Amino acid sequence: MAVTELQLPRQPRRVALGWAFFERQTNLWKRFWAWEVVWLLYGLVNTLSITFIANEAAKSGAVSRAEQPRLTMFLLIGTLVWAYLSAVLDDMSLTIMWERWEGTIEHTLMSPVPRVVHLVGMSVFGVLHAFVRTSLVLACSLPFFHLELAGANWGAVAVVVIVGSASLVGLGILAAILPMLYPERGEQMSFMVQALVLLVSGVYYSVNVLPGWLQVASYVSPATYLLRGIRDALLNHAGFGAEAGLIGILAIFGAALVPLSLIAFGFAERWAKKTGRLKRQG
């Protein structure tokens, strides 16, 4: 005897489903606004303390007075890009860790939301959240320094940041895998991976100063190209033509990392479902 197939409910629009994650993150952010102020202040103090090293270097004669603004800008870009990158990665891994602790991850994963919509929805919030926080730190830092911004190519900076952010989304999704599998150790491992990216990407120095074997690692970090692109546009006034190569590399990173991270998350989710790791912990 034939068995009739049950009519499934119509699949909702992906944008509407993705909005659920954006809205949830916004609601969580509202409840923790005091922490947001703390992180903003911490980010500002961190940025100032690192960038003042340029003043010290000029005062002690390590660099000439003429080179000081360039060093200031170099360090400022490094701290801001690092603040941006770490905020995106933290947002993703902390959210998944939180979902594990609260046990809501089971309800999220059993819902009909496609995984790509779930993760991209979270990432979009993470990127915008990090961008707003970093912009505020930049705005508050500017009065402390005399910066030569005439000739800076802001258009190129914008393109580098937008294209580079796609690869950060990929890294963010990868960073979310570990806390899904191991809530506590996963967060620890995630911080270690971030530390490695900090070391090899030339955040506060040029990657040329690294030992040869570490320079090799810098090639596979998208942060290396993001930093180089922004520094070239702001310090060397590089135009779109000069930046095309770096933008292309960042685009390749984004095009590769986003699908790869989604595939990796899918494998991890399947393994978690095989071994029963999604059960609430905490």
Partner 1 sequence: MNTTGERQPLPLEVEQLTKVFKVKRAPRLRAGWRRPRRVRAALAGVSFQVHPGEIYGVLGANGSGKSTLVRILSTLLLPDEGSVRVFGYDAVKQAASVRPLLNRVSVDPSFFKPMSAMENLLFFGRIYGLSGPDVRRASAAILARLGLDGEHAREPMLHLSRGQQQKVAVARAFLSAPRLLLLDEPTTGLDPRSKREVQSFVSEARRDRGVTILLTTHDMSEAEQLCDRVGFLSAGKLVAEGTPLELRKLVAAGRPLEEVGMEDVFIELTGRSIEEDEEEEEAG
Q: Please tell me whether residue 36 binds partner 1 under the rule CB under 8 A.
A: no
Q: Please tell me whether residue 206 binds partner 1 under the rule CB under 8 A.
A: no
Tokens of 90: 């933290």
Q: Please tell me whether residue 106 binds partner 1 under the rule CB under 8 A.
A: yes
- Least Å distance between CB 281 and partner 1? 11
With CB under 8 A as the contact rule, the residue among 40, 57, 94, 109 that binds partner 1 is 109
Q: Please tell me whether residue 34 binds partner 1 under the rule CB under 8 A.
A: no
CA distance from start to end of the chain? 49
Q: Pattern 214-253, binding to partner 1, x per CB under 8 A?
A: ----------------------------------------
CA dihedral 89, 13, 267, 29 (to 10 degrees): 30
With CB under 8 A as the contact rule, the residue among 45, 49, 59, 107 that binds partner 1 is 107
Q: Please tell me whether residue 278 binds partner 1 under the rule CB under 8 A.
A: yes
With CB under 8 A as the contact rule, the residue among 77, 89, 113, 180 that binds partner 1 is 113
Q: What is the CA radius of gyration of the chain?
A: 21
Chain length of the chain: 282
Q: How many CB atoms sit inside 10 A of residue 239's CB?
A: 13
DSSP secondary structure, 88-144, as one string: HHHHHHHHHHHHHHHTHHHHHHTSS--HHHHHHHHHHHHHHHHHHHHHHHHHHHGGG
Name the segment binding partner 1 (CB under 8 A); options: 11-19, 72-80, 149-157, 189-197: 11-19
Cα-Cα-Cα-Cα dihedral sign, residues 17, 266, 127, 254: negative
Token pair 């998350």 is found at 265
Task: Indicate left, alpha or beta for 237 from its phi (over 0: left) and psi (-120 to 50: alpha).
Answer: left
Task: Please tell me the count of residues contacting partner 1 according to CB under 8 A.
Answer: 44
| Closer residue to partner 1, CB minimum distance, 102 or 148 | 102
- Least Å distance between CB 3 and partner 1? 5
What does the DSSP 8-state code read for residue 61?
T
Amino acid of residue 227: L
Q: Please tell me whether residue 28 binds partner 1 under the rule CB under 8 A.
A: yes
Q: Please tell me whether residue 5 binds partner 1 under the rule CB under 8 A.
A: yes
> Which spans of this chain sit near partner 1 (rule: CB under 8 A)?
1-6, 8-12, 16-17, 19-21, 23-24, 27-28, 31-32, 98, 102-104, 106-114, 118, 270, 273-276, 278-280
